[in-house]
Structure 1
């Protein structure tokens, strides 16, 4: 590729190496894809994170996580452009490809493993959320447990997982988005009414918690909220005018960060020390709050197949390479198509995977602690440690002192955050 930084061997951080891409997505379409890729269930745990850390410390954690994630997403694009400028025939389409090019097989395996673990963590969080909300809806009926509600939705997920095309899932995705937006709007409405009703004292809401583990906990939750990091390269490559990606990404992150700040702040102000790890559990038990919870659960039920789709792709890719699978009789007219027996094996593997995720979800003690743990571990490594490592590996010789210092700072802080955040989430806050 041609670019201004090609002569010096460095690609300017805030510019793409090519202003025109091969993608077809407009700026508006890409902006929508960025928001859909990043915003997830973690937002409903932010009020609890603000309760644990304090409203000022929680806000600080969200802002730091947002700025750092944005910067590291640009590092990934810069690394990909650097490789493309050196190897015209190279195809670096995914995060895993970049890991392989930077650090060989070990780097590619580590990157794919972390992405797989992150997707599994997000999928488990979805199931935990669904289980806890269904349990609160039918709390007057004690015959079913939290785990029972999780396993009740698994048959639906197994059937949906047998839909092979993501485009076929788009109607479910649109329905899920509508449910999520309406439900979150009603949550904010309840928060504002509670605050305006004078049912709280601002002085009772702590700005900074005396608990030293509060800020790392909120940071882990915030990092979990900025999910979708693995989609960075695909989003940038999909643009018709790739040169505007950094500006568009900055706009998206500004809006998303402000929404996160307001949602966390108002949720904590409304409920104070009674804020639950999922803010919908604080809603009064009336018809409209039940409608909100059902709407969110329906939204997640139909979003879940998209969440686990990358996991199925990775698992099935490994499965198809096994000797016993390759010995299955192939189609005599089309060797690229799977046989009926092969498809049955794939469908069974999807069902088994979903059952395993359900078992893991039933063992999770709470949504907030689990989300913070995932954010502090795999999400921190994917979002901060790997991008800084790749950037130093590929462009270290062309970076000035301050650029190197910033990369090393992100790398070190990411490792320390992952270590302490993991410890903090496990021992409790």
Structure 2
């Protein structure tokens, strides 16, 4: 059997969204989706490979902003709130998996993705209007997934370029002696957009890899480099920690809103949950992998946020790397973490590519399939790069998109999906109350996060270079 690339193979089997000869349900199951259909057995993921992907999808740039998030919440409130948000996020992932499995069994399908799950649940809901317009549930989820995942990819572009610029242009003032970082007055030698364009061709080549089984090798490399950078960060922040009793237990309400945005942004892997389950050799083992992986993620997040804030206190910067000494040892942290983010880009990119590419390639002849596939991948990478280059204050644009789309995908939609899916199956009042409460929390975070981002966008923006810390801190505003 030919090992045709999965995305391209599904694209050839799919039909146009405008094909009126098929029902909406049939068309939606064959066209755009967050992931491919079950892969050939040889290409499926083992438990360890799935765990590696899951860890890498959730350990991204948001992790580095958790110490300042803790600063915005207070040491006690921040620790408890991060634990609660982590538990709720994991619970929403479990809800999504359970609903998708239930709907796939009900519809006698081997796999149901996020958008299809929303559509199929609406098709059986009590409200006649929602049943009639159920396909818009899939369109809405697919749009939010595309915006969220490409938004992450744009942030990754900025993060990698920013760190590369720091390493290169601070090289002449970087020493072998590691002392607390001092403010530096450095005019940039090359525009940061030059570094983005330097990274662009390498990312284009990376996203040409379509198989998650192959990507697991790069995901392993990403985990190794990320682990190395984490070890160095913890090695520094655990030394001579000041007395934490001087830190406030609770910060102001306004600052807590910034904490909420950072925490939600940090848990960025819900878009990969169903694709990973679909690609496993034994999908029934995914629940164990999910609980194990996300438990490790929550523990890491709490330790990074708590110890980072206790170490630097009120001087905690928007990214913890900005607090590290300006020596070669800790400059390597930026390099290793950037390498990890580089490979994570391909994982985050895999999701929107799985939605867009099957539809595009279904519109061309067989001989143009490969060209269309690679062209779309190149164009999408170019879009994330161009966004990072030309959109003013991209960090706040990303914060705005994340407040809307990330909160919706991670906290608002999964509980509503559970309510709609199991409403006719005698749900308990406790479950209904729980789902409503979680959706309300997500909605409040969405509203206030959007307000905060819009407020920041209205404030004057200075391009002056005061010092390296201030300059680079502006690039990390998206973390909260």
TM-score by length of 1: 0.81
Moved more, 373-382 or 384-393: 373-382
Match 2:423 to one of 396, 421, 424: 396
- Indicate the residue corresponding to 1:209 in structure 2: 251
- Indicate the residue corresponding to 1:64 in structure 2: 84
Q: Is the 8 A contact 1:216 1:417 kept in 2?
A: yes
Q: How does 1:166-185 map to 2 (within 5 A)?
A: 166-185=212-231
Q: Is the 8 A contact 2:73 2:256 kept in 1?
A: yes
Tell me the CA shift for residue 382 of structure 1: 0.7
Tell me the CA shift for residue 371 of structure 1: 6.7
- Indicate the residue corresponding to 1:272 in structure 2: 313
Tell me the CA shift for residue 50 of structure 1: 1.4
- Indicate the residue corresponding to 1:382 in structure 2: 409
Tell me the CA shift for residue 156 of structure 1: 1.4
> What is the RMSD of the two structures over their aligned residues, measured on CA atoms?
2.8
- Indicate the residue corresponding to 1:352 in structure 2: 379
Q: Counterpart of 2:112 in 1: which secondary structure?
A: coil
| Structure 1 stretches lacking a partner, 5+ long | 1-21
Q: Using the alignment, how far apart are the partners of 1:284 and 1:410 within structure 2?
A: 41
Q: Using the alignment, how far apart are the partners of 1:135 and 1:177 within structure 2?
A: 23
Q: How many residues align?
A: 387
Tell me the CA shift for residue 186 of structure 1: 0.4
Deviation digits for residues 189-215 of structure 1, max 9, x if unmatched?
Answer: 1111252xxxx45344332222x2222
- Confirm or deny that 1:129 pairs with 2:159: yes
Q: Is the 8 A contact 2:103 2:112 kept in 1?
A: no
Q: Is the 8 A contact 1:52 1:214 kept in 2?
A: yes
Q: Using the alignment, how far apart are the partners of 2:431 and 2:216 within structure 1?
A: 41
Q: Using the alignment, how far apart are the partners of 1:123 and 1:107 within structure 2?
A: 24
- Indicate the residue corresponding to 2:55 in structure 1: 35
Q: Is the 8 A contact 1:97 1:108 kept in 2?
A: yes
Q: Counterpart of 2:250 in 1: which secondary structure?
A: coil
Tell me the CA shift for residue 227 of structure 1: 1.8
- Indicate the residue corresponding to 2:208 in structure 1: 162
Moved more, 255-264 or 268-277: 268-277
Q: Is the 8 A contact 1:221 1:371 kept in 2?
A: no
Q: How does 1:212-223 map to 2 (within 5 A)?
A: 212-223=253-264
- Indicate the residue corresponding to 1:105 in structure 2: 135
Q: Using the alignment, how far apart are the partners of 2:316 and 2:282 within structure 1?
A: 44
- Indicate the residue corresponding to 2:94 in structure 1: 74
Q: Counterpart of 2:120 in 1: which secondary structure?
A: helix
Q: Is the 8 A contact 1:218 1:372 kept in 2?
A: no
- Indicate the residue corresponding to 1:312 in structure 2: 353
Q: Using the alignment, how far apart are the partners of 1:61 and 1:347 within structure 2?
A: 43
Deviation digits for residues 355-395 of structure 1, max 9, x if unmatched?
Answer: 2212322446486x677545432121111211111111121
CA shift in 2, pair 1:169/1:244, >3 Å:
closer
| Structure 2 stretches lacking a partner, 5+ long | 1-39, 123-133, 171-186, 457-479
CA shift in 2, pair 1:151/1:51, >3 Å:
farther
Q: Using the alignment, how far apart are the partners of 1:245 and 1:314 within structure 2?
A: 22
Q: Is the 8 A contact 1:38 1:225 kept in 2?
A: yes
Tell me the CA shift for residue 414 of structure 1: 1.7
Q: Using the alignment, how far apart are the partners of 1:347 and 1:240 within structure 2?
A: 27
- Indicate the residue corresponding to 1:52 in structure 2: 72
- Indicate the residue corresponding to 1:301 in structure 2: 342
